[in-house]
Amino acid sequence: MAGSAASAAAGSALAANSNPQQAEGASGVIGYFVDSLFRQDTSPVASLAPAVSGTSAPYGNTSATTTSAAMLEVNRIFMSTVSAEALPQEDMRYVGQLVAQRTGLAQPAAEQRVRETYARLQARLQDAQAAAKQTADKARKASAYTALWLFISLLIGAFVASLATTYGGHQRDA
């Protein structure tokens, strides 16, 4: 029960990112990881490497609209596979192509970036599930403690009422 509550809480935190009105996909947990996929590599070695050529963007260009559409698509891919251990190979390849086109990385390096980012996302999800489970356990313990003390107070109240009734009956008969 606590495990399913933990999964539901972590899933609802991640599902907030699938809102199509969030055009950039920049808010929330998955949006952060998708944004990190498309970051340009600013290291001196990467700036010397030539951009990947001969590949065409799936949408024809790399304008801001196309980039946000690609980011939303990657967001949906991650959302649909977030419960799996690993990203399916065809999704890994496709997302790697999108990252390579946007960042200028070579295809293997882009796929490695996707693999690492997805692993970080999985780790974050597991942390969220553990935190949700811990919170659910604390709430369960607190409610059990509250119920026990409520029962004890009702029992004491019943005992005092019975004692007062007995005392009042003796006063009446005397």
pLDDT tens digits for range 107-141 = 999 899 988 988 888 898 899 999 999 999 999 99
Q: Report pLDDT for 87.
A: 85
Please report the beta strands in the chain, taking only residues with DSSP state E, as ranges in sequence order: none
Q: Answer whether 61's CB lies under 8 Å from 51's CB.
A: no
Count Cα neighbours of 106 within 13 Å in the Cβ-side half-sphere. Answer: 6
Q: Does residue 84 have a pLDDT over 60?
A: yes
User: For residue 128, what are the contacts with CB-CB under 8 A and spacing of at least 6?
Assistant: 9, 10, 13, 14, 29
Q: Answer whether 31's CB lies under 8 Å from 17's CB.
A: yes
Angle formed at CA 18 by CA 14 and CA 21, multiple of 5 degrees: 135
pLDDT tens digits for range 29-72 = 777 788 777 777 655 444 444 444 444 444 344 456 667 788 88
Q: Report pLDDT for 55.
A: 42
Percent above pLDDT 90 for the chain: 26
Q: Report pLDDT for 79.
A: 83
